[in-house]
Structure 1
Amino acid sequence: MAGALRVGASVVIPRADLSWRFSRSSGPGGQGVNTTDSRVELLFDVARSTALSPTQRARALQRLAGRLVDGVLSVTASEQRSQLRNREAAERRLAHELTAAIAAPPRARRATRPTRGSVERRIAGKKRRAETKRLRRPE
């Protein structure tokens, strides 16, 4: 938590680009649940970040379009009772989301044809099945 947030192998987000919000977490937690702000919301401005290259920024904006509000990605964590552990969980989630969003697109599939042998095996199997069914019919 001391240094910058590493996202994948090539991207490092400075702490200045991250903003935090804390609030009370819902659910069970005993006496401390009403007094401690253990729920964490981590905000990252994808649209204005200098940590991402223009290509990575464009990919992230396109792939995360449904999750962004004014270009800002919000990740929340409230599973743990400790604020520190929720902060760590939120950072992991943000790193995972951004890694998936800025990944290069998969290579295009090249169309192939089935081999002659596989076609012949498929047709032979169909003929065997049809013959079995034909023999079951009453005459």
Structure 2
Amino acid sequence: MPDPLYVRGSVVIAEAELAWRFSRSSGPGGQGVNTTDSRVELCFDVAATTALGPALKARALDRLAPRLVNGVITVTASEHRSQLRNREAARARLARLLREAIAPPPKKRRETRPSKGSIERRLTAKKQRSDLKRLRRTPRP
């Protein structure tokens, strides 16, 4: 798979910046599980990449900090029986992680006050509920 990894619009990671490792996978696979290296580890050096601009790189390093080891993020895939499908899964997982990491921060919520009508409706509903519960009570002697 010599294709570059497309993260979003202008962010494309060259295949040369991705490091692959393969090992034997646990789980289903029949007799082939002991002989084929179907487990895939995909490593990407976020700190040294040239695919991200300085602002995006800083944002990614900040958001991915708990998952980084010396600036490198590692994604593992072993859910499929074939190495090719695990490679595709690892690429998709890394692209999704990076897409979320470089996304702009959400807009801050602007505080608003409740309208007079909504306050009235809330209090009326509370009063009706209170009356209903009061009417359910057994009368005191």
In the aligned structure 2, how far is the partner of 1:122 from the partner of 1:92?
A: 47
* Alignment pair present for 1:4 and 2:11: no
| Residue equivalent to 2:61 | 61
1:136 Cα deviation from its structure 2 partner? 3.2
Equivalent residue pairs, number: 139
Counterpart in the other structure of 1:123: 123
For the residues of structure 1 that align with 2:87 and 2:110, how far apart are their CA atoms? 44
Number of the residue aligned with 1:21: 21
Percent of pairs with identical residues: 68
**4+ residue runs over 6 A deviation:** none
1:93 Cα deviation (Å)?
0.4
Report matched runs for 1:26-37 at 5 Å. 26-37=26-37
- TM-score, length-normalised on structure 1? 0.95
Gaps of 5+ in 2: none
Provide the aligned C-alpha RMSD in A: 1.0
List alignment gaps of at least 5 residues for structure 1: none
In the alignment, residue 64 of structure 1 is paired with which amino acid?
Answer: L
Alignment TM-score, normalising by the size of structure 2: 0.94
**Counterpart residue identity of residue 75, structure 2:** V
Letter paired with 1:55: A
CA distance in structure 1 between the aligned counterparts of 2:82 and 2:30, rounded to whole angstroms: 13
The answer for the alignment partner of 1:77 in structure 2 is 77
Is the contact made by 2:61 and 2:71 (CA closer than 8 Å) also made in structure 1?
Answer: yes
1:40 aligns to what?
40
Q: Cα offset for 1:34?
A: 0.7
Q: Does 1:50 align with 2:50?
A: yes
CA contact (8 A) 2:28 2:81 kept: no
